[in-house]
Amino acid sequence: MIKLEGSQLAARIKQDVQNAIERMNVRPGLAAVRVGDDPASEVYVRNKIRACEEVGIHSEHHALPESTSTAELLELIASLNARDDVDGILTQLPLPSQIDETAIIEAINPAKDVDGFHPVNVGRLALGRPVFVPCTPAGIIELLDDNGVEIRGTNACVVGRSQIVGRPMAQLLLQRDATVTICHSRTRDLAAVTRTADLLVVAIGRAGFIGRDHIKPGATVIDVGMNRISDKDEVRELFGEDADRRLEVLAKRGSTLVGDVHPAQAAEVAGKLTPVPGGVGLLTVAMLMKNTLKAATLRRQ
């Protein structure tokens, strides 16, 4: 089984962005908006801001209280839309329940929508004329290409139908001439469907759910999941021979990360597999940098 590591590719993408920025007369700007104190969101935003510093993008972080209303957030978005020094706007999801998430996404100027969630950018992707593609699916395509994984003509299966990963992932694979099946929580006999896939992309948010019975021998498996577990017995069951190292992480940090794919079982049958962490997540941030550079370039043409 070959591990599809994302670190080297992510570093190359960020280096290319940095080189392009150094040739520009204007420094691109990215505004990150976070509402509330969700620890995972805080980590994600911090990683994105750190990446901005690495490549030379000016970044600013707007951390708003949990009690923020839709109207207050819309006012901030409007002010960021109006600023010429802000090329990209991202609002960290999910938002607190009292905020109308759809209204916030639609309020962002499509030309600054570096997450690729605005209906205009979703529509462009569906038409095969994408401008901004959601960062995780875009990063997965880069990873597959970089590792010489064939897409054209393959049977591809995407488990998960979110607007962030599942649906745009299916669109990108379809545009690369794969035969695509989308599975979800209502799919009957999920394993029977996923076992037909030469390329399996999993994004459902359920720790270690996809096991050996779901995977076609030799298939390429892309694990988008990022779940924290803290039970020692669960760690031993999921990681097998690698459990001791993960238990050390658990002892130090109180939890360890696992994807939506059962790592020990998948390693027995998959031909290629992305690790968690160290796989898709690094590319998501790198593609955000690439999208921000693209936004800055397009706005100034």
Handedness of CA 131, 132, 138, 139 (dihedral sign): positive
- Catalytic positions are 48, 92, 115
Residue 35: name the closest of 82, 97, 79, 88 by CA: 97
Spell out the CATH class of 24-110.
Answer: alpha beta
Coil, strand or helix: which one is 203? coil
Which CATH entry fits the domain spanning 135-282: 3.40.50.720, 3.40.50.300, 3.30.70.141, 3.20.20.70? 3.40.50.720
Is the pLDDT assigned to residue 25 strictly greater than 90? no
Predicted local distance difference test score (pLDDT) of residue 40: 79
Amino acid at 206: R
Left if phi > 0, otherwise alpha if psi is -120 to 50, otherwise beta: which for 245?
A: alpha
Tens of pLDDT, residue by residue over 27-84, are 999 999 999 988 878 888 899 999 999 999 999 999 999 999 999 999 999 999 999 9
At 39 the pLDDT is 80
pLDDT tens-place string over residues 254-284: 999 999 999 999 999 999 999 999 999 999 9
Q: Is 143:6 a contact under the CB 8 Å cutoff?
A: yes
Q: Is the pLDDT score of 301 beyond 90? A: no
| CA distances (Å), origin 197, targets 118, 180, 268 | 30, 9, 16
Q: Are domains 24-110 and 135-282 of this chain identical in fold?
A: yes
Query: What are the backbone dihedrals phi and psi of residue 177, each rounded to the nearest 5 degrees, phi first?
Result: 70, 30
Question: DSSP string of 249-271?
Answer: HHHHHS-EEE-SB-HHHHHHH-S
High-pLDDT (> 90) share of the chain, %: 94
pLDDT value at 232 more than 90: yes
pLDDT digits (tens, 9 = 90+) for 114-125: 999 999 999 999
Distance in angstroms (rounded) separating the CA atoms of residues 230 and 226: 13
Its pTM stands at 0.96
Domain ranges of the chain: 24-110, 135-282
Residue 243, pLDDT > 90, answer: yes
- Hey, what's the torsion of the CAs at 172, 174, 178, 184, to 10 degrees? 90
Please say if the pLDDT value at position 238 is more than 90. yes
Give the pLDDT band (50/70/90) at residue 233.
very high
pLDDT of residue 182: 98
